[in-house]
Structure 1
Amino acid sequence: MSYRGRGRGNYNNYGRGGFQRPPNPQNINQYVNSNSIPVEIAGWNGASMEDCINFISRKCRIVVSNANIEPNGNIKGYVKSEKEAGDLLNWSGVKFAGQSLKITKSFSSNGTNKKGNTIETITEFLKTRYDEPSKMLNLSSVQNDATLNQQGFFASISTTSKFFPALMKIASDLKIDVESIDLSNNNLNDLNTITTLPQTFPKLINLSLMNNNLSKLKVFEIWKNKLNYLREFIISGNPILNNDLNVVKLEIMRLFPRLIILNGEVLRNEPKLLENLKFPFNSQSMMFQDNDIHNISTNFITNFYNLWDTNRSNLLQLYQDQSQFSVSVDMSNPHDLNGQQIDFTYYLTNSRNLSRISASKLKMQKLFTGKDQIANCFNQLPKSKHELIENSHLFSMEAFKYNQLNGIIINLHGTFKETGHPDVSEPKKYGRKKVSLMEKGFDRCFVIIPSPDGGMIVASDMLVIRYPTIFKSDASPVANASPSPAPGIPPVAPSPPVAAPGMNQTPGMTAAPPANSPGINDLPPDIKSMINVTQQELLVKVLLETNLNLQYGYMLCEQSNWDYQTCTINFKNSVNSLPLNAYR
């Protein structure tokens, strides 16, 4: 007996007894394309076939899969490669249950290898089980299928656990249009082997898991927010129904928000549900590239803003490590229609208005990347209410494909109400009791892309806060607002007129100070409490040299990171776009 190949088998950390863990869906390609080299084992009759296969796995560190007993009494199975087959043949003669095993290479009866058989067999199985007119796929009692059993798909726990993942992969490649699936009578204890079902069949409407072994509600969590079109669900004949039925119904309704029927019982009023899910915008104010974009984007916006207004922390699952979020304040060209003062205090600290910021370091500081940074910024923004249904005329939206990332760009415009102060750790930072909550306008641009689990990921999220829009009696929108003071800053009394920069002088911070120019002692107490003495001196210097009012002067300093040279550059870059009421 030769031991030249001993210990050289590819040992892949299989579990005790040689059984593999249920395969990761991402590795199904490897499964379908492996187990292709047939081998035969004789002389094993002193114990069971499972004991022999387990012995080979432990002793030789090579897994023989899809094993079955041939008419001649030999075990026939498959290994992953020619190398594994050669290594296994070197163990021919090893003692098992008092006898010497004889291991040889075998050949498929039709001359094809197992790789071809696996794909071809499952493909033919899918074709025989699929009814195209009804878009129905019958996957009930698959372990009783004679052809599948003949090919050894259910010969061991290892091969059985791989069948459904392989089937899902092949079905996905075939792009079968399925709306109904019957998975009854498959001895399913959980959904681990069919976890990719929502990605494989994204338009699934009807699903039966009747007569399986599902006993816990938590098994359905892996499908949460994924079966977005599921209307009817059957789970009768499962131990799960031995629990409190009301609890089961409520949990199932929570996991599948469009579900209408459970085990034949109507759970929701379908017309009312569809009306509630219908996006409330007027058609005149919406533009979509096609119907798919319309459905995806309206679904996304409806669900997103429901959570944005009620529980922002639940939105963080949509953001990944590379996701980006920014908020900017736009106070350009407001029209004073009713004298209302708009307070942007809570947004100024994190404002990334690139027309006001030129320093690269500051630009990066105000671009929030990853869940932690984004969550922190969310907590610094006021609580809000977007009246998408009550006042749909206040909103408009455009959505179109972003082919470079296989994603969608969604632009949303409208008005919202601030309903509560931010959840920040330093309330004194903003003078919380001084800041007024009021109506504001916004523009928001999302770039959303598909996630590996079939949902959506927010790759980029840009929020612009601006003056609100009001509607006159003729329903024509007009921007509303006069510039508001900066954080806690009362309006400054007007001073004698002086030439605005760029008219009779070179643009820059060189304006001659008027007689009543402010000094440090003239700064409001709220401002002094928020900035140190050095920053106070810089603010006064900026006010003297630019003739800006206190609101715009404070904003210039803050967005220049309290650096005099940066203030000078930013002021020169923006002087021609500043409104007249930015000056004292």
Structure 2
Amino acid sequence: MSYRGRGRGGYNNNNGNRGGFSQQNVDQFAAANSVPVEILGWNNATQEECISFIARKTKISVMNASVDQQTGILRGYVRTAAVADELTQWSGVKFAGQSLKITKAIAVNSISGQMGLGVATNTNNSKAPNTIETITTFLKSRYNPESKLLNLSAVDRDPQLQQEGFFASISTTSKFFPALMKIADELKLEVDSVDVSGNNLKDLTSISTLAQTFPLLKNLALSNNNITNIRTFELWKRKLNFLRELVVMNNPLVSNLRSANEVDNIKLEMMKNFPRLVVLNGEIVRDENKLLSLVSFPFATQGMFFQDETIQQVSTNFITNFFNLWDTNRQELMILYQQESQFSMQVDSSHPHVIEIESGPSTNSRSFSSYNNSNNNNDSPFGYYIPHSRNLTKVSSVKSKMARLAVGQQNIFKMFSQLPKTRHDLLSNPNLFSLESYSYPQLGGILLTLHGYFEETAIPDDNSAVTNPSSSGGNNRNRFQKNNNKKIPLGKKSFDRTFVIIPGPNGSMIVASDLLTVRLFADADAWNTPTPTPVVQAGVPSQQVPTNVPAAVPNASIPAVPAAAPGAPTPNDLPPDVKANLNDLQQQILVRVLVDTKLNFQFAIMLCEQSQWDYQQCINNFKQSVATLPPTAYM
């Protein structure tokens, strides 16, 4: 066989392209193996300048970019859905005098593939855009933006969908709803309520993706279906955490109930699956005010940031429970750590300011560096921390670096035991703390950072790192032996603590990484203005946290406190730091609440504040909540 005339190298001379691959083929291949994004607001510059700016700013490459001449939308592709999600978080960044709007585009190939059209391998893909347009038109016709209602009732009887053959076979029927949710997600519909009535559903399998598309859903109607088993709702357990109202009327599940016990069992199981459920089939099953008081985070300050309401709920629950145990019983925290979990702490020695130490007004101001460079560990207020400090700018030995990284439950608890006992006033002084929480998609978890202060209340349970420095595992051997009988001062410290928490078994959370930084005490001006104004975070009721309680609650507005029995505690028995923030009448109320409820200080003060320092209201609220309070709430 002669190869003459077939082009250089023996390849087929197909319009000058080797192997028959054209630029169109390359673009189609790239589109089929990446995620499309769309960019608006770039018009004050060129397409190339915009793509270059995004690469510099976000470290993300947008490939195969092109401009739709009719709409002016710049469309390109990124490698994965995770990268696309990360890029959309930069939406709003300023470029050439305008704010860029970056969104994920509707992926023709992926959605068509879900519908079984085979577009990725079929050269004739004319049906794919028509399919997407049909579903998009259907969604828009069923969506009410004013009420934020998406009506998906009786979708199999929609004339246009029937004409397109979406329900012609079991295969296409089963793929329709996931494709519907995919497009709904791409359209960024704001949905509070969904009606899925009259679809002949026997279980939730075919509509399971509803929880992923609308995790903040508040109202759901599933009436006039064929659901028979209460266990089918376990599919959405801990997924629709903000569902307030559920309707399941005219399903065998409720139509066949024979006794009051069966009705109560249905209510109980629904409340287990949906923690914020208030109304079931038109009947109130929970006290909504009480529920909000239990699930709402008491922080309403400027220093709080939550990426979304789901992350807010998980992170605030985690923080309040974690630091309650950190201050009272660190052994119980070990259930949150696994053998691969890591903990390390460091003393921040880079603070440039001269800050007054908390041992009293007569104490001379000293810089942080002067303490850090002291020849005696006991001269420093950080004496309990320095033996464990893994500050990599100070610790050069590889052996010391590894020795000061605690891995696994046993090593982590050992280090916990060698740190001073503390108190974090998270609930009583939330404006002195700042909390940030973001999703951590690499591990499917949450990255959470808390800034604030704590007060040291006692020396560590295990003080061997100070009295016997060689036991800490670092290079402190014999360095501080001379004066190890001196008492290290206790006081206030500022701190930063960063957690990476990931989902564990049975809906629990596991701490994958825990990093603590300890600094000299500083105020909260970084996130508070001199006259702080409460900022309402998504899903958090607006609360004004009193910074000056006596002024905020006049004596005249508080009812008289019942007389105490002879020999009962008096306000004089309260700790000085508690008395300093309360007027005389509030001190009396707090003492009576402590005696009558047996709550500890933390929960008693929180109860008084939420009851507006009304003694009778305190008792009423306590009686309503007593069944749900944890054992740690009591003295």
Length-normalised TM-score, structure 1: 0.47
Question: Which has the greater radius of gyration?
Answer: 1
Question: TM-score, normalised to structure 2's length?
Answer: 0.44
